[in-house]
Amino acid sequence: MKIILHENISAYLQKKNIMPNYLSSGHGVTCEGEEGILAYLYYSLNPYHPSAPYLRFAVLDQSVDAETIVEMYEKLKSTLPLSDIILEIHRNHDLYEKLITTHDFEEFRKTYEAEVEISEMVSHYTVDETKSYEGEQSFEMTESLLDLSRKVYESVHDTIPLRGMTLAEWKDLITDDLDLENSIVIHDEDEAVTAYMLIYGDEDNSRDVGYIYYSDADAKQRLTSAFRHTLDKLREDGYEHINLEIDTTDEYAYGFFNEFVNDEAPVLVSYIRRQKKS
């Protein structure tokens, strides 16, 4: 096996008819044998969280082992920005264990996905839990909701901060495919927003739960009541599933939906290597 550093990994992979899943930021490493490329590694930047590069491994052959993964990282390491580094693992966690321990990566987030039948959710949120529902005004994406939702998002993503973004940019981001009819906002007697749940999707039989927030236990109860009402409407309209993507770092989404994902294996485990302070 040969571990080779490339200045332009995208161009090299393209010549080999390999298309990475993410846009490379430049340098990359391949592990190659007589049969060709066995694995490759590069890094990319998230346009919304650009403060730390994301390592992207692709293992194409079973002969690649944990020691090879470490060698590939060490070959690429000198080209990485002087910042924190993110490693996301979707599968074959054991393959990366030596890299994680040798180079001081720390787990900071698990991500769960679940497709839950609406009928199951209706059964979960019992009548007693929803009896206080008295109806809420129709959903409207106001400036106060935009500002609050951005601050909440920043608070649950403080490990990898959100880039500076105007409210107009934030609005474009969070209103794409937003279901205005079924999204929920809760106000107190002074018309301040105390809870919300943004629902998305254009599928015929499902909806996605996106951003969620509640200010306290009472707001969470009111949100639960409104969500049960929304579930009833969705079921009447022919929808069958609610799709969840839940990060353990999101105290609101995880606190609201953790019972639906606790028995699931995470689809993604995220690690961070902190840049040592000089």
Please report, rounded to a whole number, the percentage of residues in the chain having pLDDT higher than 90. Answer: 83
pTM summary value: 0.89
- d(CA 97, CA 275) in angstroms, rounded, equals 20
- 266, two tokens: 């995470």
| Residues 124-143: tens digit of each pLDDT | 987 554 445 555 567 899 99
pLDDT, residue 116, reads: 96
**Residues contacting 148, CB < 8 A, separation 6+:** 193, 196, 213
- Helix ranges, the chain (H): 9-15, 66-77, 97-102, 118-124, 127-130, 143-156, 167-174, 217-236, 251-261
Q: Which pairing describes strands 85-89 and 268-273: parallel, antiparallel, or unpaired?
A: antiparallel
| Residues 255-275: tens digit of each pLDDT | 999 999 988 899 999 999 998
SS3 197: strand
pLDDT, residue 138, reads: 79
Q: What residue ranges define each of the domains in the chain, with the CATH number in brackets?
A: 2-103 (3.40.630.30), 113-261 (3.40.630.30)
Low-confidence ranges of the chain (pLDDT < 70): 127-137, 277-278
Residue 214 CB: number of other CB atoms within 10 A?
22
